[in-house]
Amino acid sequence: MITVGKENLYSNNNYGVEIQSVILQKYKNSTRWFWSAFTRYPFRYLLGIILLVISTYSSTKTLALIGDVLGIIQRNLSLKLTSFLPINISEITTIGWGQTTINMFTPDFIRTIIWMVIYVIIAWVTLSVNIAIWADTSFRVQRDMRQEFYEVVQNHSMAFFDVNDSGVILSMGMNEINQVRMAYHPSLRNLLGSVMTIVITTVLLWIYDWIIGVVFLVSFILYLIIAWIYAAKVAPIRQKLATDLGSMSSISQEMFKGVDVVRSFNNHEKEITKFNKVSLEYADDMRREGYLSAFYWPAVISILVTAGAFAFGIYSVIIGRYVSIGILISILSLLLNLNRQNFMIPQRLIMLQAGLQNSRRLWNVMSFKDPLEQSETPIEGNWNKEVVFENVSFAYPGTEKLVLNNVSFSIHAGARVALIGGPGSGKSTILKLLLRLYDPTSGKIKINNSNIKDMHTSYVRSNVTMVEQDIFLFSDTLKANIAFAKPEATDEEIRAAADKAQISQFIESLPEGYQTIIGERGVTLSGGQRQRIAIARALLSNPNLLLLDDSTSAVDIKTELRLRYAMEELMKNRTSIVVTQRLTTLVAADMIILMKKGKVVDIGHHEELIQRCSDYQFMCQHLPIAKGSASSDLADAISGGRD
């Protein structure tokens, strides 16, 4: 059995079963996932239910005993009325100030009171323990489901993240999972309590008066059905309110974040209209919900039943069907108690419905059909041989447009390859395919004749490392960020990597050194520093194939220089593919692949391309070297030879 929360969900074999298929096979659908709480922790919930039965019985019984004890009082009082007749002299006592009265504290009165106290204590203890167990278990379920959701979603390929707002996914993982938990605790527990009160009340009523018992049972079943239908009506509005609020805050956040853009285009009113539309929608749904819950028709059923029982009870007393008025009082106490519960039931039902709906939404995200499939029998490859693109075409999942169109090339081991092309030429897509973030739509990517589609993604990624242009660092220590590629790395290894990446000096100059926290709660690094942290990270991962997106923007001379040294270190002794516009890199490359609109235009050395390829000549002319600089002689620069 897989226990989330305590242990890792992944199997120990890195390339083994995927978590998504494990979860999907285990729970099949959202309903079963929602109800899985009971199969996850069956004994705890069973114990909870048993305790609930005991506590409900005890508290209901206490209420029923009110009639009994009042009946006894009534009997004792009637004895007082008749006590002038010397029938039962022993019950008449004389007390302090000489008044004659009756003993109210007859043994059955005392006994009933004691029983009531005992029942109250039992109810108190069992209900407390029940709540504790139920709450604890439900919070466990919440923890486990949240973990499952996160791990499954995290395992989706980039095809998922490209189209899904991570803010929305986050709010699902946090808030909607909370909703699911609330369906269990407190809703389901209270609901079970109410249902049990109904059942036990029915049994007790049956004992007092079977006619009332039957009528009551039938009408309460009817009541629950209508209440469920009612809840099903309200629940979607509740859901709608939540989404309204969500879009309201995203509209508002967007506007305040981009306020200077809004102002510079005179678009205040447009933004206000956009907001007002959602706000009005929210108000409308809020009103609808209020109207629906205002006239809660099922309540009428319980009112009528109670009134009927009341009339029938009085009638029974009048005709002498009841031996004591206490029976009427017991029946009334029980019914009025239920009327109080009455108001709780709809709210709980709505929350249960909401939990079910949320779990459906969560399940939909979890069961995302991933276009990137893992092979069931993954293979490995020899990375010291060539990397081949064989007629690779690619369109982003869900779109038609081919961003790569029939791309073929072959890279021998240890080669330095430069990728060059205009915007949207497909350069960065080639890198993403090599990292197996996506699979080609058609064609093959081969490492020494093995298709990487047949390899496990984590195997591919342990051999391939990419340094992106927009660098994502975690808000953690510098050390943790560098060691992200290799968590078990020693301090020496980390320092060596930082040193090669030309960042160690800077890090050591900080008061906290490698323990410095970066990001929102720490220091902010400049673009150049971030880049070199990423290079240190990549150095530690020591990949067989390095992918480098080096589309530099303008940096100052020092940053530039440091970056060049760092990159040189990184490319040493491995196959590398660099997206670049740096003439030195182009000139030094073993091979240049020139891309245009998703197609390969030409492949070759710098000298070859500069001779024969007009696109390449055009690009070279537009690289900064050609203009305005001290050595503006194009011919000089481009025939500068290789170092």
Partner 1 sequence: MSHGHPRGGPGRAFGAIKYDRARSTKVLVGNLWRYIRVYIKPIILVVSISIVYSIMRVVSPIIIGRGINVLTETPSATSLLIGLTVAFLLLTIVGWVLDSLSTRIQAKMNSEMLHEVRSDLYRKLSYSDMAYLKNEQSGNVTARVTADTGELATGLILFTSVVSQLLVIVGSFVWLMLSNWIIGLISLTAVPIAFLMANILSFFARKIVLRVRRAFGVVSAKMAEGLEGVAVAKSFNRERDLATELRELNHQHYKYSRQFGFLMMFINPTMTALTYGLFIAIIYASGWINQHTGIQLGDIYTDVQLSQSFLFPMVMLSMMFPQLESALGAMDRIIDVFEAKLAVADKTDAVNLQQTDDSVHFDHVSFAYTDDNYVLQDVTFTTNAGEMMAIVGHTGAGKTTLFSSLLTRFYDVSKGAIKIGNQDIRDVKQSSLRKTIGLVTQEPFLFNGTVLENILYGSPDATRDDVYSISKRINADEFIEALPNGYDTVVVEGGKKLSAGQRQIITVARTMLADPRILVLDEATSRLDTYTESLIQAAQRELFRGRTTFVIAHRLSTIKDADRIVVFEEGKLMEMGTHNELMKLDGIYADLYNTYYVHQGLEDISLSLEDLEPETLDESIQKQSMNKPTFTVGAGGSHPSGKPKEMPDKKQMQEFMEELKKKGDEKQLQHVEKMMKMMKNMKKDD
Using the rule CB under 8 A, is 174 a contact of partner 1? yes
Can you tell me which residue has the tokens 């909401």? 354
- Tokens describing residue 88: 């039962």
Is 580 in a helix, a strand, or coil? strand
One-letter amino acid at 48 equals G
Distance of alpha carbon 221 from alpha carbon 210, whole angstroms: 17
User: How many CB atoms are closer than 10 A to CB 40?
Assistant: 18
Contact 606, 643 (CB under 8 A): no
Using the rule CB under 8 A, is 298 a contact of partner 1? no
Using the rule CB under 8 A, is 264 a contact of partner 1? yes
Nearest to partner 1 of 214, 336 (CB atom): 336
Using the rule CB under 8 A, is 8 a contact of partner 1? yes
Nearest to partner 1 of 411, 437 (CB atom): 437
With CB under 8 A as the contact rule, which of the stretches 32-40, 161-169, 196-204, 602-610 interacts with partner 1?
161-169
Distance of alpha carbon 80 from alpha carbon 66, whole angstroms: 21
Tell me which residues in 532-551 interact with partner 1 (CB under 8 A).
Answer: 537, 541, 551
Measured at the CA of 642, the angle between CA 549 and CA 547, to 5 degrees, comes to 20
Using the rule CB under 8 A, is 396 a contact of partner 1? yes
User: How many CB atoms are closer than 10 A to CB 463?
Assistant: 19
Using the rule CB under 8 A, is 286 a contact of partner 1? yes
- Tokens describing residue 182: 């609330």
With CB under 8 A as the contact rule, which of the stretches 70-78, 196-204, 380-388, 408-416 interacts with partner 1?
70-78
Among 31, 88, 276, 364, binds partner 1 (CB under 8 A): 276
Distance of alpha carbon 59 from alpha carbon 130, whole angstroms: 14
- Is beta strand 575-580 parallel, antiparallel or unpaired with respect to 545-550? parallel
Compute the radius of gyration of the chain from its Cα atoms. 38
Using the rule CB under 8 A, is 84 a contact of partner 1? no
Minimum distance from residue 296 beta carbon to partner 1 (Å): 6
With CB under 8 A as the contact rule, which of the stretches 28-36, 206-214, 378-386, 622-630 interacts with partner 1?
622-630
Distance of alpha carbon 512 from alpha carbon 42, whole angstroms: 50
Among 18, 176, 209, 271, binds partner 1 (CB under 8 A): 271
Among 24, 317, 415, 634, binds partner 1 (CB under 8 A): 317
Minimum distance from residue 338 beta carbon to partner 1 (Å): 13
Contact 172, 361 (CB under 8 A): yes
- Is beta strand 416-421 parallel, antiparallel or unpaired with respect to 404-411? unpaired
Number of residues that bind partner 1 (CB under 8 A): 211
User: For partner 1, what does the binding mask look like between residues 349 and 368, x meaning CB under 8 A?
Assistant: --------------------
Contact 410, 387 (CB under 8 A): yes
With CB under 8 A as the contact rule, which of the stretches 194-202, 303-311, 377-385, 492-500 interacts with partner 1?
303-311
With CB under 8 A as the contact rule, which of the stretches 30-38, 221-229, 502-510, 569-577 interacts with partner 1?
502-510
Kindly list the strands in the beta sheet with 450-451, ordered across the sheet, starting from the edge strand earlier in the chain.
Answer: 404-411, 387-394, 442-447, 450-451
Tell me 110's DSSP state: H
Minimum distance from residue 112 beta carbon to partner 1 (Å): 9
Among 16, 42, 414, 519, binds partner 1 (CB under 8 A): 519
Using the rule CB under 8 A, is 88 a contact of partner 1? no
What contacts 624, CB < 8 A, 6 or more positions away?
none
Using the rule CB under 8 A, is 373 a contact of partner 1? no
Using the rule CB under 8 A, is 132 a contact of partner 1? yes
Distance of alpha carbon 8 from alpha carbon 635, whole angstroms: 61
Using the rule CB under 8 A, is 512 a contact of partner 1? no
Using the rule CB under 8 A, is 584 a contact of partner 1? yes
Distance of alpha carbon 123 from alpha carbon 56, whole angstroms: 7
Among 83, 243, 293, 450, binds partner 1 (CB under 8 A): 293
Tell me which residues in 35-54 interact with partner 1 (CB under 8 A).
Answer: none
What contacts 125, CB < 8 A, 6 or more positions away?
none
Nearest to partner 1 of 123, 410 (CB atom): 123
Using the rule CB under 8 A, is 279 a contact of partner 1? yes
Among 3, 21, 253, 410, binds partner 1 (CB under 8 A): 253
Closest CA relative to residue 162, chosen from 548, 359, 443, 438: 438
Among 153, 180, 331, 567, binds partner 1 (CB under 8 A): 153
Nearest to partner 1 of 449, 479 (CB atom): 479
Using the rule CB under 8 A, is 245 a contact of partner 1? yes
In SS3 terms, 323-371 reads as CCHHHHHHHHHHHHHHHHHHCHHHHHHHHHHHHHHHHHHHHHHHCCCCC
Is 39 in a helix, a strand, or coil? helix
Contact 185, 150 (CB under 8 A): no
Contact 359, 374 (CB under 8 A): no
Using the rule CB under 8 A, is 623 a contact of partner 1? yes
Phi, psi of 405 (to 5 degrees): -130, 100
* Residue 518, beta-bridge partner list: 523
Tell me 526's DSSP state: P
One-letter amino acid at 166 equals S
Tell me which residues in 451-490 interact with partner 1 (CB under 8 A).
Answer: 457-458, 461-462, 464-466, 468-475, 484-485, 487
Nearest to partner 1 of 31, 155 (CB atom): 155
With CB under 8 A as the contact rule, which of the stretches 411-419, 439-447, 577-585, 605-613 interacts with partner 1?
577-585
Among 92, 299, 301, 634, binds partner 1 (CB under 8 A): 299
CB pairs under 8 A, 24+ apart, for 617-621?
Answer: 619/420, 619/422, 619/594, 620/583, 620/586
With CB under 8 A as the contact rule, which of the stretches 42-50, 122-130, 355-363, 381-389 interacts with partner 1?
122-130
Among 84, 509, 635, 641, binds partner 1 (CB under 8 A): 509
Tell me which residues in 400-439 interact with partner 1 (CB under 8 A).
Answer: 401, 403, 420, 422-426, 428, 435, 437
Using the rule CB under 8 A, is 210 a contact of partner 1? no
Among 562, 577, 591, 601, binds partner 1 (CB under 8 A): 562
Tell me 186's DSSP state: I
Tell me which residues in 321-350 interact with partner 1 (CB under 8 A).
Answer: 325, 328-329, 332-333, 336, 339, 343-344, 346-347
Tell me 12's DSSP state: S
Minimum distance from residue 375 beta carbon to partner 1 (Å): 17
Nearest to partner 1 of 50, 300 (CB atom): 300
Minimum distance from residue 29 beta carbon to partner 1 (Å): 24
With CB under 8 A as the contact rule, which of the stretches 383-391, 395-403, 408-416, 491-499 interacts with partner 1?
395-403
Using the rule CB under 8 A, is 15 a contact of partner 1? no
What contacts 545, CB < 8 A, 6 or more positions away?
383, 387, 434, 463, 464, 465, 574, 575, 576, 577
Nearest to partner 1 of 29, 78 (CB atom): 78
